[in-house]
Amino acid sequence: MKKHLLKTPLLLLLSLVFTGPAWADPFTLLIYETKADLSARSDPGKAPAYWAAYGAYAQAMTQAGILRGGTALPGKAGVRTVHGMDGRPAAAANPTAGAEGEWELGGYFIIEVADVEAALDWAKKSPGIASGYVEIHPHFINPTMPAQ
Rounded Cα–Cα distance for residues 74 and 96 (Å): 14
DSSP result, 96-124: TTT--S--EEEEEEEEEESSHHHHHHHHH
Q: pLDDT higher for 77 or 72? A: 72
> How confident is the model over 79-136, as pLDDT tens digits?
888 877 777 776 666 555 445 558 999 999 999 999 999 999 999 999 999 999 999 9
Spans of all domains in the chain: 26-138
| Band of pLDDT at residue 142, cut at 50, 70 and 90 | confident
Would the pTM count as exceeding 0.85? Answer: no
Among the residue ranges 28-32, 57-61, 76-80, the one predicted with the least confidence is 76-80
The CATH homologous superfamily to which domain 26-138 belongs is Dimeric alpha+beta barrel (3.30.70.1060)
